[in-house]
Amino acid sequence: MPKVSEAYKEEKIRNLVQAAKKVFIKKGYVQTSMQDIMDEAGISRGAMYRYFNNLEHVFLEVLREDDQKDVAFFEVSNDEQIWPQIQRWLEMQQQVIENINQSLLQAKAEFFLTSQQHKDDFSYVSQRYDEITEAIEEVLMLGEQKKEFQLQQSPERISRYMISFLNGLMLDTFQLGMKQTKVQEQLSILCFTLEKLLYKE
Amino acid sequence: MPKVSEAYKEEKIRNLVQAAKKVFIKKGYVQTSMQDIMDEAGISRGAMYRYFNNLEHVFLEVLREDDQKDVAFFEVSNDEQIWPQIQRWLEMQQQVIENINQSLLQAKAEFFLTSQQHKDDFSYVSQRYDEITEAIEEVLMLGEQKKEFQLQQSPERISRYMISFLNGLMLDTFQLGMKQTKVQEQLSILCFTLEKLLYKE
DNA sequence: AAATAAACGACACTGTTGTATATTTTAATG
DNA sequence: CATTAAAATATACAACAGTGTCGTTTATTT
């Protein structure tokens, strides 16, 4: 406990972030207090505040950790047709949505929704939105280059369209459960419309 | 021998609800306290608690009031073609989305997102979702009856699809502003895909 | 055993809630 | 029009939950 390596400190923080994440997933952002995280981590108040200034700080660290996992969020292979790859990606999204309760969705939504202050961290949301838009956009353009698609609308529009829809489906599903929103059916509609948007017939 | 009219009481409540609504629109649900509403209404703590038990109670009244305005939410006329009516409705939605900051969207989202307790009032969200789904569904079926459409997917699916998309667009727009999400463009894509879903070609 | 830094937990402070009590307003009555 | 009792409002208060700080304790290294 005294004089200790850098590695120890990092490890400690990683543990705390893990504990925090667990709590945030379970309780969302608004309902979570520092105390909850301390309890989950089995650590004292003083120790906690040695590593984090406040709850917002903790959450931002959790966010950072969570983001890293899907950096390589949409890897396209050039060897294969694009469309099947998109379809596979959509199936992945279905998995994501169906496990929405084990994700940070609620906490994130609450965090960015609740406080005007976070409009400063606004850049985060905004940036992430742009990143994803662009990633999808590129895939679409690639498909067009390869003469596989004939985009009926600009790739940017299509990309944003996909995101809006998926976001809506996620939140509705979180609120209402999968039975009511019928995730699979909805995604198959998205597929249907995407075909119309991507192909000339 | 008692005093005071019924009408007075109702009027009073309506005023309080109005004041509360104003605050909720400005600050959302989570950041709003009873005090904020009392201040806005220029009323004392004691008076406020005579009419409402707690913040949740106030919010539910505000919700009720707000819902009434769009009861006749999607009136279809039988004389006219359905499709133009849907298009007009979508234009209305654009207005709604573009004025999203003057709406209760944030407060509602926060309210239903934040607290597990509200899973009891869950019925509200769930019910409303079903109502809207059914309303749209009926319009679609009417169009099919009139041989105007040839639905490429079940009306239920299409209806839910529309809602998911619009919800997503609303929340994204609230977060990011209209410039980034390009509401109009997005809605025109929705229109495009809807045509594909409604018509055989 | 001296030095050091992590960990602990008590503490003071804040903002908010809901209630209890005091005061004012109201309209029916003599 | 003065009286009066109930209703409406105002004010003060206790309780609480959460925050961030700070002096103290603990355990290891040198």
The answer to whether the CB atoms of B157 and A185 lie below 8 A apart is yes
Among A36, A153, A189, most B C-beta atoms within 10 A, so best to mutate, is A189
Q: Is a pLDDT exceeding 60 seen at residue B80? A: yes
* Range with lowest mean pLDDT among A47-51, A127-131, B152-156, B163-167: A127-131
* Range with lowest mean pLDDT among A20-34, A104-118, B62-76, B92-106: B62-76
Q: What share of chain B in percent tops pLDDT 90?
A: 78
Neighbour-count burial for B45-62, b at 16+ CB within 10 Å, e otherwise: eeebeeebeebeebbebb
Q: Of A30, A157, A165, which has the smallest distance from its Cβ to B164's Cβ? A: A165
Amino acid sitting at position B32: T
Q: Which CATH architecture has domain B6-198?
A: Orthogonal Bundle (1.10)
The answer to whether the CB atoms of B172 and A164 lie below 8 A apart is yes
Report residue A140: phi and psi, to 5°: -65, -45
Q: What is the pLDDT of residues B39-54, one digit of tens each?
A: 999 999 999 999 999 9
Among A90, A101, A161, most B C-beta atoms within 10 A, so best to mutate, is A161
Q: Is a pLDDT exceeding 70 seen at residue B2? A: no
Among B126, B191, B193, B195, most A C-beta atoms within 10 A, so best to mutate, is B193
> Between vectors from CA B167 to CA B173 and to CA B82, what angle results, nearest 5°?
115
Confidence of residue B73 (pLDDT cuts 50, 70, 90): low
Å between CA of A46 and C1' of D23: 12
Mean pLDDT of chain B: 91
The CB-side HSE value for A56 (13 A sphere, CA atoms) comes to 8
Å between CA of B73 and C1' of C11: 56
* Range with lowest mean pLDDT among B16-30, B47-61, B68-82: B68-82
pTM over the 0.75 mark: yes
Å between CA of A49 and C1' of D13: 33
Indicate the DSSP class of residue B73.
Answer: T
Distances (CA, A) of A3 to A7, A8, A45, A49, A58: 12, 10, 20, 18, 24
Asked if B49 contacts B67 with a C-beta cutoff of 8 angstroms, the reply is no
* Range with lowest mean pLDDT among A4-13, B139-148, B161-170: A4-13
pLDDT of residue B1: 43
Domain ranges of chain A: 6-198
Query: How far apart are the C-alpha atoms of A105 and A170, rounded to whole Å?
Result: 8
Q: Which nucleotide is nearest to A3 (CA to C1')?
A: C5
pLDDT of residue A4: 62
CB under 7 Å from strand D: A 1-3, 33-35, 45-46, 49, 53-55; B 1-4, 8-9, 12, 43-47, 50-51
Q: Which bases on strand D have an atom closer than 7 Å to a protein beta carbon?
A: 5-13, 17-23, 26-30
Calculate the CA A38 to chain-centre distance: 25
Owner of token pair 């994204």: B172
The answer to whether the CB atoms of B113 and A168 lie below 8 A apart is no
In SS3 terms, chain A reads as CCCCCHHHHHHHHHHHHHHHHHHHHHHCCCCCCHHHHHHHHCCCHHHHHHHCCCHHHHHHHHHHHHHHHCCCCCCCCCCCCHHHHHHHHHHHHHHHHHCHHHCCHHHHHHHHHHCHHHHCCHHHHHHHHHHHHHHHHHHHHHHHHCCCCCCCCCHHHHHHHHHHHHHHHHHHHHHHCHHHHCHHHHHHHHHHHHHHHHCCC
pLDDT of residue B98: 96
Instruction: Give me the mean pLDDT over the B58-80 stretch.
Output: 85
Q: pLDDT tens for chain A, 201 residues: list them.
A: 555 667 778 899 999 999 999 999 999 999 999 999 999 999 999 999 999 999 999 999 999 999 887 656 677 888 899 999 999 999 999 999 999 999 999 999 999 998 765 555 568 888 889 999 999 999 999 999 999 999 999 999 999 999 999 999 999 999 999 999 999 999 999 999 999 999 876
Å between CA of B3 and C1' of D9: 15
pLDDT of residue B71: 60
Sign of the torsion formed by the C-alpha atoms of B94, B96, B99 and B101: negative
